[in-house]
Structure 1
């Protein structure tokens, strides 16, 4: 996902690792929003916290795309794959 194309109000899906249990990850919906302390600067609004936009986040435009990449990252079968 190209972060330069994101606009305030866009919904994205993030593969988020639990900071307290690094082996736990989930797909979480987030919003692109203007940072309240930095007018004009877009941020990732996740769990009521503002994070600077960065290419380092695993952000996707749809849940299905995020789920496919989640399965690939964590070596889980993708729909249609045989065990």
Structure 2
């Protein structure tokens, strides 16, 4: 996992919890976890999500889009 810093803007491949087959690339922010000051979290959709090793978090939209297209087998358009 990359070394993210507090305040950094990141892009997350986020699955809709109400429709498991729906995923989007969402912009989020890396923040200090409000309940554990020794952990980082992602602030997304007005909620804190602990930053974990297996999260699909990227520094750029293009990186997120590449993996999104690979996972969901979509064609990339130039």
Fold match by TM threshold 0.5: yes
Residue number among 77, 80, 83 corresponding to 2:75 in the alignment: 77
Give the number of aligned pairs. Answer: 78
Q: Does 1:29 align with 2:27?
A: yes
Question: Separation in 2 of the partners of 1:54 and 1:14?
Answer: 12
Cα-Cα RMSD: 1.3
TM-score, structure 2 as length reference = 0.89
Where do 5+ consecutive residues of structure 2 fail to align?
A: none
TM-score, structure 1 as length reference = 0.84
The residue aligned with 2:57 is 59
Alpha-carbon distance, 1:41 to partner: 2.3
User: Which structure 1 residue ranges, 4+ long, deviate > 4 Å from structure 2?
Assistant: none
Alpha-carbon distance, 1:38 to partner: 2.0
Alpha-carbon distance, 1:35 to partner: 1.6
